[in-house]
Chains A and B, each alone.
Chain A
Amino acid sequence: MMVAAIPVIPLLAALAVLLFRHPTPARLITAAGGLATLLLSIDLAQQVTHRVDLVVLPGWVGVNGLSALILVLQGFVAMTATIYSWGYMKHQARAGEARERRYYLNLNLFLSSLFLVPIFLQPALTWVAVELTTVLSVFLVSFDSTPQALEAAWKYAIITIMGATVAVLGIFLLLWGLSLAHVAVQTWASLKATAPLMPPLLLKLAFVLILIGFGTKVGIVPMHTWLPDAHSQAPSSVCALLSGIEVSTILYVIMRLWPVFAWIPGSFAQHWALAFGLLSVGVAAFLMIQVHDFKRLFAFSTVEQMGIVLVALGLGPAGGYASLYQVLTHAVTKSLAFYSAGAVLLTTGTRDIASVKGLIRVSPVSAMSLLFSGLAIAGAPPFAIFLSELSIFRSTWQTGHILVLVLLLGFLTVAFLGVLLKVNRMVFGQSHHRPVSLPLTIRFALLVGWLPVLVFGVYLPRPMHHLLTLAALTLRR
């Protein structure tokens, strides 16, 4: 029953926010809700590692290794984001009390929809949940109500809803495959079991529709155009959620269908994933050199990271573990990067890279956090992403994709240089900003956010490794 409780907690929190006029209870309730979901999902993950699959409502709700991994990551980012929101929203110049309450209402609703995605056993319901994540986060993206924020929200809503609507036909096609084989149960498991009986052409068509459809929301090039806008215009706590975990949550849907698509003859799905993945990494890496807005820098890095995950998926069974490892490290590192960016934004009041200088003299905490999270996201040791990228390189080498490896290394070097150049310019040099002290909750969120980035950069705890292995197993056909 705990599985169902996870999305219900933010929903209850949203209702509670409505009850109080003052924002303080809303902050408290939301943060408590975030913590509760994290604890619940960790507990759930532990149960899953013992029993492999946890079915609550047969045919409707249940969790396997992969969805438990996503839930844990969601829980973690939700927890840090709700704590971070506390200080961030209080110090946002434009936020009044009523607006702050509305923010918490929307945030909780969005979190609830996010938790819904991994717990459904039916693809059709999961699709509804995916649509809900978009719809319920639109007002979070447009929260600042500036023309730019509204433009970003518009693109976000229209393009990603369009993508999800295209994907639904892919899901229908898969369900048709089920009915052709006279299977009445429409769950992931029955799809996986029936896939070998489906016509390959049907699988191909469904795969293309689903990859393009959900890929739009994952931010795969060339469907990424909305992502840098939405992931930079939203409040930083929301950016952390969108970039850190929402994209991975949508990618989870594609991953969940991966064993089905693995039955397409000729490694069709893998080739497409490799092509789209490399394209995303390459385009994002070169765009990162051109950005003027440091939040957009991290947004493009999300496109790049999702590309890397796709490349790892495209390596076949050998890359399964590495791709999930990358999802894990990306979630913790990218959310941290946006927290740091938000702290810088609070200190300087601008997102323009050129007008931020000498941050280290004004606010050492945000400066150091930005510098090191920039390094971490670019894949420098001794941070988490370094290890996961290393394991991807290793599986690329082992599976003999030398060209892919060379391209990947080249693009990652470009991206590394891009991040380093921009961040360097902001952190060092002469300063003209007034010193600002960061709110306590932001400092705390940064501290908590740094923990896994540092720990996973040195070694992967045994339970985590266990969960990843379990999740990687569900990627095999």
Chain B
Amino acid sequence: MSTPFLDHILTNINSLLGALFLLSAFVLMVARQVQGFLRGFVRQSLLLALSALVLGWLQQSPELVIVALITLAAKTLIIPNLLVRTLQPQIRSRREVDFVVNTPVSLLVAIGISVLSYFFVVPLLAGASPSVSVNLPVGLDVLLIGVYTLAIRREAVPQVLAIMAIDNGAFYAGIAITSSSAIVELAAGLEGVIVVLVVAILTRTLAENVGTTQVGAMATLKEGDKP
């Protein structure tokens, strides 16, 4: 059922998904509304699942289809629902007016990161398949941009979602370069859900006990001058 022409089309679709995946990392970096951030994350996860499906077809690997299903279930359904249920006010009404670094500078930094990750990976790609040469650099790039996004955020929910975006980046590279057993994938998916659950509960406790979810403003623990 697999023809060279179909394979070619699917490879191209995968590249397009890769480009959109990378763009989604930029969108997450600059999104101000918490709700917009959540929506962007869901879209990004959707792209990850789609890419896993396409690669699953290309490589004839049922594991990747399972990965796609797990990603769909965990990251586009369970995690967003979990967050919305536990942190309704934080998601609905919070927005970040100022980042630690302003948007144009962030864009330049992120582009620098893109070029950097590309340079790290390119020597490894000699003789690699087209899907690997899209997914590996884009995955590393999204991972690093996710780390940067996490660093410039002050609000709790975007920080959690930034971690999950880093996770997306790692798995985006992972689906192209390796195939783990379904049990491992299931464990990893479940683990992501537990992470979000725990951090969401922690955020709620923060909102109740400290009165704010501006985690970037918390700095009572430090050395030097006495508190």
Q: Using a CB–CB distance below 8 Å, which chain A residues touch chain B?
A: 122, 124-125, 127-128, 131-132, 135-136, 138-139, 142, 145-148, 150-154, 157-158, 161-162, 165-166, 168-169, 172-173, 175-176, 178-179, 186, 199, 201-202, 205, 228-229, 232-233, 287, 290-292, 296, 354
Contact = CB atoms under 8 A, between A and B. Distances in A.
Given A138-B199, A157-B202, 17 more contacts: A124-B184, A131-B191, A132-B194, A135-B195, A138-B198, A147-B210, A148-B220, A161-B163, A168-B174, A169-B143, A169-B170, A176-B177, A201-B124, A202-B124, A232-B221, A233-B221, A292-B227
Interface centre among B143, B178, B210 (most CB of A within 10 A): B178
B191 A154 contact: no
A416 B218 CA distance: 31
Interface of B: 120-121, 123-124, 139-140, 143, 147, 150, 156, 159-160, 163, 166-167, 169-171, 173-174, 177-180, 184, 187-188, 191, 194-195, 198-199, 201-202, 205-206, 209-210, 215, 218, 220-221, 223-224, 226-227
A166 B166 contact: yes
A142 to B, nearest CB: 6
B63 to A, nearest CB: 12
B166 A165 contact: yes
A11 to B, nearest CB: 15
20 contacts: A124-B180, A125-B187, A142-B205, A146-B209, A148-B221, A151-B210, A151-B215, A151-B220, A154-B202, A154-B206, A158-B150, A161-B163, A162-B150, A165-B170, A166-B143, A168-B171, A169-B139, A169-B174, A172-B178, A175-B178
Contacts of B221: 148, 151-152, 228-229, 232-233
Nearest to A137: B198
Contacts of A125: 184, 187
A153 B205 CA distance: 11
A128 B223 contact: no
Contacts of B167: 165, 168
A186 B63 CA distance: 15
Nearest to A60: B183
Contacts of A201: 123-124
Q: 5 closest A-B pairs (Cβ-Cβ)?
A: A176-B177, A175-B178, A172-B174, A169-B170, A151-B218
Given A151-B218, A157-B202, A290-B223, A172 B177 contact: yes
B209 A175 contact: no
Contacts of B215: 151, 154, 158
Contact of B173 (A148, A151, A172, A354): A172
B113 to A, nearest CB: 13
B172 to A, nearest CB: 10
Interface majority SS (helix, strand, loop, mixed), chain B: helix
Contacts of B178: 172, 175-176, 178-179, 186
B90 to A, nearest CB: 14
Nearest to A170: B170
Contacts of A161: 163, 195, 199
Contacts of B177: 172-173, 175-176, 179
A158 B140 contact: no
B169 to A, nearest CB: 7
Nearest to A167: B170
> Which of A127, A135, A152, A290 has the most chain B CB within a 10 Å cutoff?
A135
Question: Which residue, A146, A173, A199, has most C-beta atoms of chain B within 10 A?
Answer: A173
Contacts of A131: 191, 195
A166 B170 contact: yes
Contacts of A166: 143, 147, 166, 170
Nearest to B168: A165
A122 B180 CA distance: 10
A147 B124 contact: no
Given A150-B209, A291-B223, A199 B124 contact: yes
B103 to A, nearest CB: 22
B92 to A, nearest CB: 21
A154 B124 CA distance: 37
B202 A124 contact: no
Among B202, B209, B227, max chain A CB count under 10 A is at B202
Contacts of B195: 131, 135, 161
Given A132-B194, A150-B209, A228-B221, A157 B173 contact: no
A132 B191 contact: yes
Contacts of B150: 158, 162
Contacts of A287: 223
B180 A168 contact: no
B209 to A, nearest CB: 6
B173 to A, nearest CB: 6
Contacts of B218: 147, 151, 154
B178 to A, nearest CB: 4
A138 B202 CA distance: 8
A150 B206 contact: yes
B184 A128 contact: yes
A233 B187 CA distance: 30
Given A150-B209, A158-B199, A162-B147, A128 B191 contact: yes
A186 B159 CA distance: 32
B199 A157 contact: yes
A233 B178 CA distance: 40
A179 B178 CA distance: 7
B209 A147 contact: yes
Contacts of A128: 184, 187-188, 191
Contacts of B202: 138-139, 142, 150, 153-154, 157
Nearest to B144: A166
B173 A169 contact: yes
B205 A205 contact: no
Nearest to B169: A169
B120 to A, nearest CB: 6
A124 B224 contact: no
Contacts of B123: 201
Nearest to A288: B223
Nearest to B194: A135
Contacts of B199: 138, 157-158, 161
A56 B120 CA distance: 39
